[in-house]
A and B are shown apart, each in its own frame.
Chain A
Amino acid sequence: EAGVTQFPSHSVIEKGQTVTLRCDPISGHDNLYWYRRVMGKEIKFLLHFVKESKQDESGMPNNRFLAERTGGTYSTLKVQPAELEDSGVYFCASSPAGTGGGYTFGSGTRLTVV
């Protein structure tokens, strides 16, 4: 079974530019989550999809962040325009319906905004 795939693995962009991160969950997993770890701090929840619907987006920091999950398969997280404080590692995770926290995580995308 293929795991959760994220790309790119690294991205360096200038302040004000746009970046799109992609996550391919495990096939058949209804739940898809985005998390972010800012350097040295805790990993924080951003949002949760159930299939194509946003179940909870309470962790999204501001309206510069837009997440989509078209057709309930892969998901994208767009940051537009990027700011310096957006730098960090963005993790995606997926789980089957009804799972209590035991997700499978991807390797993360390290985003650096300069």
Chain B
Amino acid sequence: GQQLNQSPQSMFIQEGEDVSMNCTSSSIFNTWLWYKQDPGEGPVLLIALYKAGELTSNGRLTAQFGITRKDSFLNISASIPSDVGIYFCAGRGGYSGGSNYKLTFGKGTLLTVNP
């Protein structure tokens, strides 16, 4: 099946620093998504990207859909303690009804923010 390589696996930063994480795939995706999982909860969608080259912001978060359609990155500016959690990229390729249409999740980036 399709696999996503997400990096880094973990990050430990100081409050106020900027953060960058990325996802790459050997397959082309038509949709890239970024989810965040707070401790003890399920993941929640942060940003969805639908077009190669697309750059989308959501507050302090910015994400881009790579031009090759095989990668995406997420940036967090001026981190705060509540940014702590696991960030997952997810991709969807193929077409509705196809075998590879289901969402594929990366392994996650664990972010720790030191106040």
B is bound to A: no
